[in-house]
Structure 1
Amino acid sequence: MLMIDVFRREVLTKITAAIGLSSLGAGRAVAQEVNEYNVGTASPAAEQAASDVANEVSQVLNWDGDEKTITGVYSQEAIDNLDNRPDVRYTEINGTYQAISETRPWGIDRVDADVAHSNDETGGDDTDGEGGAHVSIIDSGVDYGHGDLTTNYIDGKDFVNDDGDAMDDNGHGTHVAGTGDAEDNDQGVIGVCTAAHLHAAKVLNSDGYGSWSNIAAGIKWTADQGHDVGNLSLGGTSGSRTVRDACQYAYDNGVLLVAAAGNEGPSPNSVLYPAVYEEVIAVSATDRSDDIARFSSTGPEIELAAPGVNVLSTTLGGGTGEKSGTSMASPHVAGAGGQLMDNGYTNREARTKLRDTAEDIGLSSTEQGHGLVNVAAALSDDSNSSPTVDSLSLTEVETDNDDAEFDVGWQVSDSDGDLDSVDLTLTDDTDGETEDTASIDVSDDSASDTTRLVASGDDGSSNSYTAELIVTDTNGASSSDTATETESEDTTDASAPTIDSFSVSTRTTGVWFRAESDWAVSDDDGDLDAVTTELLDSDQNVLDSTSSNVSGSNASGSHEVRTRNSDSDVVRLTVTDAAGNHTSDTRDV
């Protein structure tokens, strides 16, 4: 597992962030304006290039393999040049997210956490480092001197000031931490977990704002420390590739990520980032009447609902107070996840269990997702456990036809060994129409495969598609998961390379029959890749071949192919571009 490298130096150049551009006085000669950017690289060469052209590098995040994200101060010219490199995955101005809260915990009873406590389910024990779940509050820090939090608090890291002191100077993270993991000590409040190991990644400043790079660093730290759950009661309206990289990294490394859906009101598709990302559980907020909170964001990304109105929890300085928001709902789910992972569940298994045991409170799926989180039900030891979706992926397949084709990779399991069926559905997210389905019979305790699903007659307009998998056992228990992919722009016809000329001459020398091809090729997109000449017999078997690497928009050359076999029949020329599109032609010999 790669560790995070963080370099902090004082940035002397004035930085203008996503909230606006700075202006300089008129009538003065000014240097080219610079901004703080995140640069996602895919190779050591790109990493070096991004470092070399930066005015200042403040942070480097190492993902898996050669992929990294470099945060630094760049001129627009430097960013334009980096954008032209194929091994630079993205550049983005380093924007900010903010704490989701600010409208002012009956919730513990409502999600049946008290029932779990009565069954001695606490999320951990009282011995630091030995057993128990590890819950990371990725927020404004935690008041670790608070009487309800100090026993459970283990450590933290401050990514705002770059030190190991994650003391909260805003109050938001402390309130979130109390709902997730306040100790049962006959004072103050009680959390969903009461003895889980509590950690703090301080990524929001005293005003409740945090840069994308610092938030990503906090998420990555949570994963690299081996924590079980990461709570993200923060967000914004813009997506960040840097934060998405961090969420993917953490989820792949076993972290259950839970995020507040946002306080944008009940308008459709109002869920904020990073809750939008498929690696993250998006949580909406409900009130005491089990209605959707008037401020809660809603949309198809909502996975679970939890109490979020007038939630009583810990505050700075050792007190308690009420707050409202999806920020307050999210730690109910994070605490429930910690309870499950303390019982041996993986992050994916815990996610499935939370969905399968959620309580349907009569709201729409865009408001409640799978339902209101129920801690006691999630922890119940059912005699017939539900099957589990262990992995699900959706990958576009490049084809020469007009259809959008996807490979759905899946793996399912069931501890009872009574798997029965896997049902797949491909949906066009633009219009909600079902494009394709598949049903596969499975058995025993595990199964995996890759299934091709097709959106026929797609117009190539980069639609987003979602694959849903439902796995069912012989007793009728089921689990589900979804994966989403955006189709690449369909440029197959326009980008196919062209054979401009192709001629063949032959001769025989000794026992060898030789054919020489002269050719010229072109491509409107300028991404020629290879030209291959093949000598075929009458059954279309390849007797000999030779290839040339080409590039740009035009290329020409010649190849010689030969054989001792006198049954030579055809010479075939094939030109291929970098996208895999190809054109072939043949000549009889």
Structure 2
Amino acid sequence: MTNENVSRRTLLKGVGAGVAASALAGQVAGADEGAYIVGVEPDSGLETARRAADSVRKELDFGSIGRAVSGQFSEAALDGLRNNPNVRYVEPNGRMHALSQTTPYGIETVKADLAIDDGETGDGVSVAVLDTGIDAEHETLAANLGEGYATDDAACTTGCGGGPFGGGNDIEECLEEWDDDNDHGTHCAGTVGAADDGVGVLGVAPDVTLHAVKVLQCDGGGTFDDIAEGIVWSADQGHDVQSMSLGADSGSSAVEDAVQYAADQGVVLVAAAGNSGPCTDCVGYPAAYDEVIAVSATDENDDLADFSSTGPEVELAAPGVDTLSTIPRDDYAEFSGTSMACPHVAGAAATLIAAGTNPANVRDELKAAADDIGLPDTDQGAGRLNVAAALDIESNDDDDDDNGDDDPIDSEPMIDSFSVDASGNGPWSSADVDWAVSDDDGALESVTTELLDGSTVLESESSSVSGSSASGTHELRTRDDPDGVRLTVVDEAGNEASETTGY
């Protein structure tokens, strides 16, 4: 649901999360002091570069383009090489990093990651996202996109003004009529089904087929007839689930007719409860219709979002505060709203259908498996979404003996390896930290690396982790003078292990 409560912060652009901002793929960073590459002409300069090096690491031959020598060079040698007419370039021998993927906290909160690990990914199920469109070429959505649709008034445009997101998103061209000219629809689509492809973020159901049904214009608004048209079109295509992060304070007979039509076709309908909170008995439409699963929003601590609408129509709660997902083009951002909660449930519905649940039973199965997080029924409905429980997949913190109690997480996490490659480059001090951690309970939560000056933290980087083992690299840089590096691993119960080494 479009709303003024959106908190937007671009986190990633062009590459996946998990890579430090100073070391995005394709950028030079983390070069060892004195490590350079000297490029020379094809037929001259090679011997000069060799002689200038304190040590040669390797030589590269690019044919008619030229050749290069990498190695250790003194500043005096570099100055001479830069003035040599046969030298084409002198550059630090920096580092590039593999693209990586992050799992947003909402995916972990609703235990969708456990379902994915168990092979339940929504494969073969179609989810229609009725919204502002979906980016037609996003790096982690394109592989999952199916046929899309746009009503005449909502068709993509490159010129837009006004709206809750400040108007259009300034895309330079519309690749399809259903291309996203606002950001909102792409963000919702990523939560439903961003692919598990090692890039960007992970969705609840990473193998679903996503269908953009563009019924909202670039300013985030849409007419009742357009929304009704989109609901009917989707139902006629045989889509299994409709995700509707949209709404109004008052109902519409045309939209209600369309909802009934889709329900009669067996479509599972999910909608955002609304962003009128704090309030009571204020769920918007179409979420308030009987045929639709109304979803309220919670935060990372399972508290109700202060903007979330509540009322007796609420059936499930899901994460909707500072949720990380996709936006055009190959970008990522955090948004807040019940709009962000709704696609978690839509993705869960798709996962259950793919696993063999009759669509007519999906609603009851999701509600029966929801976690009671201690909120009133009007706030959480049956509880906060739990995808793994709905699929009878055992969570690490669930009891095996069915006595209704949770087994405690007893073992502390362990640091299996911890190495630091420290270097200086001009005013900068850098540390490449390679780490591997584990936890016998399979309940890893986070790994944090800190550059220290005594007890003062100069710079830090954290990674969300899960399961029984994880490994990675953190790159830290500071203009201060660190004297140590600390690595800390934490599990879901708050148990932690920490090691510190000299810089």
User: In structure 2, how many angstroms separate the alpha carbons of the residues matched to 1:346 and 1:159?
Assistant: 31
Structure 1 position 259 matched with structure 2 position 271: yes
Q: 1:101 to 1:200 in 2, by over 3 A?
A: farther
CA deviation digits over 1:379-415, x for unaligned, max 9? Answer: 1179xxxxxxxxxxxxxxxxxxxxxxxxxxxxxxxxx
Alignment partner of 2:245 out of 233, 240, 260: 233
Q: 1:230 to 1:308 in 2, by over 3 A?
A: same
Q: Which residue is 2:142 aligned to?
A: 150
Alignment partner of 2:133 out of 134, 141, 156: 141
Alignment partner of 2:309 out of 297, 300, 319: 297
Alignment partner of 2:329 out of 317, 321, 327: 317
Within a 5 Å distance, the mapping from 1:32-431 to structure 2 comes to 99-100=2-3, 102-104=5-7, 105-124=104-123, 132-161=124-153, 165-380=177-392
Q: CA deviation at 1:99?
A: 2.6
Q: What count of residue pairs does the alignment treat as equivalent?
A: 279
Q: Which residue is 1:421 aligned to?
A: none
User: In structure 1, how many angstroms separate the alpha carbons of the residues matched to 2:239 and 2:364?
Assistant: 19
Q: Indicate if the aligned counterparts of 1:181 and 1:335 stay in contact, CA closer than 8 A.
A: yes
The answer for unaligned runs of 5 or more in structure 2 is 8-103, 156-175, 395-503
CA deviation digits over 1:124-180, x for unaligned, max 9? Answer: 0xxxxxxx1100000000002000100000110011448772101011000000000
Q: Structure 1 counterpart of 2:257, which letter?
A: D
Any idea what SS the aligned residue of 2:147 has?
A: strand
Between structure 1 and structure 2, the one with the greater Rg is 1
Q: CA deviation at 1:267?
A: 1.1
Any idea what SS the aligned residue of 1:234 has?
A: coil
Q: Indicate if the aligned counterparts of 1:100 and 1:234 stay in contact, CA closer than 8 A.
A: no
CA deviation digits over 1:183-235, x for unaligned, max 9? Answer: 01111100001010110100000000000000001111111000000000000
Q: Indicate if the aligned counterparts of 2:193 and 2:208 stay in contact, CA closer than 8 A.
A: yes
User: In structure 2, how many angstroms separate the alpha carbons of the residues matched to 1:266 and 1:222?
Assistant: 33
Q: Structure 2 counterpart of 1:110, which letter?
A: T
User: In structure 1, how many angstroms separate the alpha carbons of the residues matched to 2:386 and 2:3?
Assistant: 23
Q: Indicate if the aligned counterparts of 1:111 and 1:373 stay in contact, CA closer than 8 A.
A: yes
User: In structure 2, how many angstroms separate the alpha carbons of the residues matched to 1:219 and 1:99?
Assistant: 18
Asked which structure has the greater RCO (Cα within 8 Å, sep 6+), the reply is: 2
Q: CA deviation at 1:266?
A: 2.7
User: In structure 2, how many angstroms separate the alpha carbons of the residues matched to 1:136 and 1:102?
Assistant: 24
Within a 5 Å distance, the mapping from 1:457-476 to structure 2 comes to none
Q: Indicate if the aligned counterparts of 1:203 and 1:210 stay in contact, CA closer than 8 A.
A: yes
User: In structure 2, how many angstroms separate the alpha carbons of the residues matched to 1:343 and 1:290?
Assistant: 27
CA deviation digits over 1:426-455, x for unaligned, max 9? Answer: xxxxxxxxxxxxxxxxxxxxxxxxxxxxxx
User: In structure 1, how many angstroms separate the alpha carbons of the residues matched to 2:295 and 2:148?
Assistant: 24
User: In structure 2, how many angstroms separate the alpha carbons of the residues matched to 1:223 and 1:120?
Assistant: 27
User: In structure 2, how many angstroms separate the alpha carbons of the residues matched to 1:327 and 1:100?
Assistant: 9
Q: Indicate if the aligned counterparts of 1:101 and 1:327 stay in contact, CA closer than 8 A.
A: no
CA deviation digits over 1:314-365, x for unaligned, max 9? Answer: 0111110000000000000000000011122232211110011001000000
Q: Which residue is 1:508 aligned to?
A: none
Any idea what SS the aligned residue of 2:129 has?
A: strand
Q: Structure 1 counterpart of 2:335, which letter?
A: K
Q: Which residue is 2:445 aligned to?
A: none
Q: 1:324 to 1:123 in 2, by over 3 A?
A: same
Q: Structure 2 counterpart of 1:300, which letter?
A: P
Deviates more, 1:228-237 or 1:98-107: 98-107
Q: Structure 1 counterpart of 2:264, which letter?
A: D
Q: CA deviation at 1:261?
A: 0.4
User: In structure 1, how many angstroms separate the alpha carbons of the residues matched to 2:4 and 2:374?
Assistant: 25
Within a 5 Å distance, the mapping from 1:508-587 to structure 2 comes to none
User: In structure 2, how many angstroms separate the alpha carbons of the residues matched to 1:229 and 1:259?
Assistant: 11
Give me the identity figure in percent: 53
User: In structure 2, how many angstroms separate the alpha carbons of the residues matched to 1:341 and 1:272?
Assistant: 27
Any idea what SS the aligned residue of 2:146 has?
A: strand
CA deviation digits over 1:542-576, x for unaligned, max 9? Answer: xxxxxxxxxxxxxxxxxxxxxxxxxxxxxxxxxxx
Q: Which residue is 1:77 aligned to?
A: none
Q: Structure 2 counterpart of 1:371, which letter?
A: G
User: In structure 1, how many angstroms separate the alpha carbons of the residues matched to 2:201 and 2:109?
Assistant: 15
User: In structure 2, how many angstroms separate the alpha carbons of the residues matched to 1:276 and 1:378?
Assistant: 24
Any idea what SS the aligned residue of 1:123 has?
A: coil
Q: Indicate if the aligned counterparts of 2:315 and 2:381 stay in contact, CA closer than 8 A.
A: yes
Q: 1:123 to 1:313 in 2, by over 3 A?
A: same
Q: CA deviation at 1:366?
A: 0.2
Q: Indicate if the aligned counterparts of 1:160 and 1:202 stay in contact, CA closer than 8 A.
A: no
Q: 1:110 to 1:162 in 2, by over 3 A?
A: closer
User: In structure 1, how many angstroms separate the alpha carbons of the residues matched to 2:4 and 2:217?
Assistant: 15
Any idea what SS the aligned residue of 2:333 has?
A: strand
CA deviation digits over 1:225-284, x for unaligned, max 9? Answer: 000000000001111000000011101101100000011013111111110000000000
Give the alignment's TM-score, normalised by structure 1.
0.46
User: How big is the alpha-carbon RMSD for the aligned residues of Structure 1 and Structure 2?
Assistant: 1.6
Q: Which residue is 1:561 aligned to?
A: none
Q: 1:247 to 1:100 in 2, by over 3 A?
A: farther
Q: Which residue is 2:467 aligned to?
A: none
Q: Indicate if the aligned counterparts of 1:100 and 1:235 stay in contact, CA closer than 8 A.
A: no
CA deviation digits over 1:500-537, x for unaligned, max 9? Answer: xxxxxxxxxxxxxxxxxxxxxxxxxxxxxxxxxxxxxx
Q: 1:151 to 1:368 in 2, by over 3 A?
A: same
Q: Indicate if the aligned counterparts of 1:100 and 1:233 stay in contact, CA closer than 8 A.
A: no
Q: Structure 1 counterpart of 2:118, which letter?
A: N
Q: Structure 2 counterpart of 1:142, which letter?
A: I
User: Structure 1 or 2: larger strand share?
Assistant: 1
User: In structure 2, how many angstroms separate the alpha carbons of the residues matched to 1:149 and 1:100?
Assistant: 24
Give the alignment's TM-score, normalised by structure 2.
0.54
Any idea what SS the aligned residue of 2:271 has?
A: strand
User: In structure 1, how many angstroms separate the alpha carbons of the residues matched to 2:337 and 2:154?
Assistant: 29
Q: 1:168 to 1:147 in 2, by over 3 A?
A: same
Q: Indicate if the aligned counterparts of 2:127 and 2:211 stay in contact, CA closer than 8 A.
A: yes
Q: Indicate if the aligned counterparts of 1:171 and 1:315 stay in contact, CA closer than 8 A.
A: yes
User: In structure 2, how many angstroms separate the alpha carbons of the residues matched to 1:363 and 1:168?
Assistant: 35
Q: Indicate if the aligned counterparts of 1:100 and 1:326 stay in contact, CA closer than 8 A.
A: no
User: In structure 1, how many angstroms separate the alpha carbons of the residues matched to 2:3 and 2:365?
Assistant: 26
Q: Indicate if the aligned counterparts of 2:269 and 2:291 stay in contact, CA closer than 8 A.
A: yes
Q: Which residue is 1:66 aligned to?
A: none
Q: Indicate if the aligned counterparts of 1:341 and 1:347 stay in contact, CA closer than 8 A.
A: yes
Q: Structure 2 counterpart of 1:99, which letter?
A: T
